[in-house]
Structure 1
Amino acid sequence: MAEKFQIKKSSIASAVCIAAVILLLIFGGRVFGNQQYYAVSLMVILLSMVPFFLAFESRKPQAREVVTLAVMCALAVASRAVFIWLPHFKPMTAIIMIAGAAFGAEAGFLTGAVSAFVSNFLFGQGPWTPWQMLAFGIAGFLVGLLCNKGILSKKRIPLSIFGGIAVLVLIGPILDTSTLFMTAASVTQESAAAVYLSGLPVNAVHALATFLTLLLVSQPLFEKLDRIKLKYGIMEADREV
């Protein structure tokens, strides 16, 4: 049991370190110019793969596991594209959270980062892309981590409430931070307050979309994903890694 706990602890530490490096990359991209956002985005994807593949250190990953995550990414991108006509209404975050809850924190982070990057080919790439990849990746990682530890239930109501609150108080402000650094000539308390306050209505709509999506589709998706895991024995969300 002690050995299993050690592996799990090292996996979490790796993911935290990767997130810190991603932040440095984002700031580095800003320092060297907004034209570097493609390079920064690709580096974020590569780094987000590290903790995911560390989860398979004791066995070889099966192709169907990667395919399953690719399907979740495609579903997340499609859910954002369907609501392109409704500003700031992003069901994609909920799909990413479901992937994290079903397959673990590492898979959740990777799903979030890749989904943000791919969906921006429809919505527009820019210096905000790495920030979105970080924010959506954290959404999947956080839910995956809390569900894996048994702190957060995957039941409809608690998961939906947590998802909405997380977007409002964490994911949304991370996205607002990109606006702060891209628009403010110098970051001051006044400029920060203005950006975060103006972002509240946007984050409220985003939180509502996350809450409703988790409320309506989380359980049907969990049932299908559980059948896939049972049939193929892939990526147990409660595995000790």
Structure 2
Amino acid sequence: MPELTPGPDFGGASARGNRQGRAKTLVTVIGALILTPLTVVLGMEVPGSGYYLSGTLIVLYALAPFFVSFEGRRPQAREIAVVAVLAALAVVARAAFVWVPHFKPMAAIVMIAGIAAGPQTGFLVGSVAALASNFIFGQGPWTPWQMLAFGVAGLVAGLLADARVFPRANLTWPRRIALAVTGFVLIVGLVGPILDTSTFFYLSTAPTLELATAVYLAGLPVNAAHGAAVAVTLLLVANPLLDQLDRLRVKYGLLDRRHAPHRN
């Protein structure tokens, strides 16, 4: 699991609050590490859907530290409002194109949230958007996998921004193109396979290499279409949306001076 730190997310917290938040996160991570192997062993003893049940529980263990870490920072009300707006925008992006097969630009909004607000907030926006959008598209045992997949999209984008691969505002055209390509690769290489893993467990009570190969190969065209949708969306809306978020941070003081957005 990735190390969770306050990072360059919106807002700030007191040193004491940060220490308490890190302690809670550490306890949650340790608990997840202990529960994961136990869940795998116990899942093997459950007939029928044991593998799927254990896989879903492990995904929930992975999600827990991010939510605990975010809560531990004691975010400002304004920060929570911005996170809620970004999550709602991601939900709208998914719902607006439901009539286009496999065209899902939601991950693009999640990646923008991660770049603008940091990996922790990016993960939170992605997982919350997946959960909220499934109230439209249908909840099920696949929901935690979708929460993890879209959360990872925001996390990776935030980490790339932390590493100064992408600026948090005012992207040049070469950077916009690079971000679009990154979005495509991220969907095809990571987010899509996580979603395919959910399908794999859903279809099988006894996982086999043959079934895994069939599921992941069948998912490639779908993931490619998904990645193309994300790439196009990032190319068109990433720069104006990041600039708007930058102005919002400056206007309402939602960004600590130590975490001022870097530009190229």
**TM beyond 0.5:** yes
Distance in 2, Cα, partners of 1:237 & 1:31: 49
Counting only pairs closer than 5 Å after superposition, residues 166-181 of structure 1 correspond to structure 2 as: 166-181=186-201
- The counterpart of 2:178, out of the listed 143, 149, 158, is 158
**Alignment check: 8 A CA contact 1:153 1:159 kept:** no
Partner of 2:215: 195
- Indicate the percent of aligned positions where both proteins have the same amino acid: 47
Q: For the residues of structure 2 that align with 1:111 and 1:133, how far apart are their CA atoms?
A: 9
Report 1:113-192 matches (<5 A).
Answer: 113-153=127-167, 155=171, 156-192=176-212
RMSD: 3.5
Q: Does 1:214 align with 2:228?
A: no
| Normalised TM-score (structure 1) | 0.80
TM-score under structure 2 normalisation? 0.74
Deviations 1:85-137 (A, max 9, x none): 11221110000000000000000000011000000011111111000000000
The structural deviation recorded for 1:187 is: 1.3
Structure 1 gap ranges (5+): 1-5
Q: Structure 1 residue 192: deviation in Å?
A: 0.6
User: Distance between the aligned counterparts of 2:59 and 2:207, measured in 1?
Assistant: 24
Aligned twin of 1:3: none
Which amino acid letter does the alignment assign opposite residue 187 of structure 2? V
Match in the other structure for 1:31: 50
Gaps of 5+ in 2: 8-18, 44-48
> How far apart in 2 are the matches of 1:7 and 1:81?
31
Q: Which amino acid aligns with 1:31?
A: G
The alignment covers a number of residue pairs equal to: 225
CA contact (8 A) 1:101 1:237 kept: no
2:142 partner letter: W
Q: Deviations over 1:185-230 (max 9, x none)?
A: 3211111100000000110110001000000000110111000011
> Which residue is equivalent to 2:121?
107
CA displacement 1:140-161 (0-9 Å, x = unmatched):
0111011112134553111111
Instruction: Flag the structure with larger Rg.
Output: 2
In 2: Cα distance, 1:228 partner to 1:169 partner = 33
The one-character-per-residue Cα deviations of 1:157-179 (angstroms, maximum 9, x if unpaired) are 11111011100111000000000
